[in-house]
Amino acid sequence: MSGERITILLAGDSPSDLGKLTAALQAEKIEVLTINNRDSIVNLTRTEVPSLILLDFKSCFDICRMLKRNFVTEPIPILALLFPADEVDRVAVLELGADDCLAKPFSFRELTLRIRCSLNRARDNQGKARYKQSQYYSALTRRPSVSSPITD
């Protein structure tokens, strides 16, 4: 997609769909982290800080709300894959914080275009990716792995 390293957190409840999407995204030179445990998404996102979150759950409203209410994960763009994708669901997921949504079934070409557009919109006025703020916040809130000895 570009010279910048892109990492996508792909979260969903269908292992076969996750596998297909992972393979297709990796073929585009995108690093992919996958998770199918909806309870662990916020914690993984806070530690790994992806460029974009791609949600493929039957219902992702609660996840969007949790991610957008957390100051570390709030700047990370969210793209929701919806099935069925009626107007009520599309509007609801966008109101809850998703940056974009895509109806299933979809073409992979359209998905990669929407990913690129979401990443471009997630830049500030100086062209810096807003999700970089998340990496900074994550570092501030992360517990040290090894405690340093106190010396006199």
* pLDDT on residue 25: 94
d(CA 28, CA 23): 9
Query: For the chain, which domains are there?
Result: 7-141 (3.40.50.2300)
* pLDDT on residue 50: 92
Give the tens place of pLDDT for each residue, 64-92. Answer: 999 999 888 888 999 999 987 789 999 99
* pLDDT on residue 77: 94
pLDDT at 58 over 50: yes
DSSP H helical segments within 96-144, as ranges? 108-121, 131-141
- The structure tokens listed for 14 are 């269908």
**CA proximity to 103, closest of 117, 123, 119, 82:** 82
Q: For the chain, what is the mean pLDDT?
A: 83
* pLDDT on residue 99: 93
- The structure tokens listed for 124 are 């500030």
For Cα atoms 124, 55, 78, give the angle at the middle one, nearest 5 degrees.
Answer: 10
Tell how far CA 131 is from the center of its chain: 10
Mean pLDDT across the stretch 109-129?
81
Burial 92-128 (b: 16+ CB within 10 A, else e): bbeebbbbbbbeeeeeeeebeebbeebbeebeeeeee
pLDDT at 143 over 80: no
Give the tens place of pLDDT for each residue, 2-36. Answer: 567 889 999 998 889 999 999 999 999 999 999 98
Read off the pTM: 0.79
